[in-house]
Amino acid sequence: MRKIIATGKGGAGKTTVVATLSRLLAREGFRVMVIDTDPSMNLAMSLGVPFSTVRTLAEDKKEIREQLYEDDFDEEGEGHTHSSNINIDAFLEKYQVTAKDDVKVVVMGTISEGGGGCICSYISIVKRLIDYLALWSDQYDIVIVDSQAGSEILGRGLAVNYDHNLVITESFPKSMEVARHVLKLARDLKIRRQLVVVNKVRQGKELDLVADELSLNGESIYPVRYDEKVIEADRMGSLILDMAPDSLVLEDIGDIMRTILTDYEKT
């Protein structure tokens, strides 16, 4: 099973890229799961799944930790052994929903009340779930994680041994600063390959600007061109894949998909 994470500053377009990429991969015949770890929880809606139909992992934190861990669970979830008793298929049946093109969606969820602490333990649950999928389930070919905004999720070690990190950025200083930190943390985690995706490109010169600013060291860089229809589709709760299937945005995300698949063929 291949593992991909999408990272970057909030508003850079991670969710749109992940939702579109997942469906394009599914159309190529791959069995795809996407996991939303962003507390804003927009991925399911971007994939056309009403949020009211989704049961988040956070809602059943205590029950889930009892299934995934053999011993006591702390907020970090570190140093605890995997349970071998979980029925992973029944677990997925409860928490995954099906989007268009048969993409499966799981939503982590977020803190439900003031003073409820941080999301560290929820991230740990996602990490453990992905470990289970890799070890004991043959339902998926590719899992894509739509991360929370910023770089903290990599600091929590979620993406250890991942195949790809899609660093989504715009050509603005704040967005590039987050991308710079994400690239560094992902290198520390030894993610096999990082693809820098410059979103909302209008003129083309943005790629050179981002490449120079980030001092790329072997990482590939890809543009996703600006299209007003992306905003229009989002406003309508849809994807540009459905609203404007001839958009250049889809051509660009298709190029990213082909790079990922080429990498898979080499390993």
Q: Are 36 and 146 in contact (CB under 8 A)?
A: yes
Q: What is the pLDDT of residue 85?
A: 58
Verdict on whether the full-model pTM lies above 0.75: yes
CB 6 within 8 A of CB 145: yes
User: Left, alpha or beta for 215 (phi > 0: left; psi -120 to 50: alpha)?
Assistant: left
Q: Mark the ranges of the chain whose per-residue pLDDT is less than 70.
A: 68-86, 111-119
* Amino acid sitting at position 9: K
Nearest by Cα to 180 from 188, 190, 169, 193 = 169
Rounded Cα–Cα distance for residues 31 and 41 (Å): 22
What does the pLDDT read at residue 73? 46
- pLDDT score recorded for residue 86: 67
Greatest extent of the chain over all pairs of C-alpha atoms, in Å: 55
pLDDT at 119: 61
- Spatial separation of the C-alpha atoms in residues 159 and 163, rounded to whole Å: 9
Which residue from 254, 244, 178 is spatially nearest to 213, judged by alpha carbons? 178
Q: Which pLDDT score, from 0 to 100, does residue 52 have?
A: 83
- Give residue 70's pLDDT: 56
Q: How far apart are CA 157 and CA 124, in angstroms?
A: 9
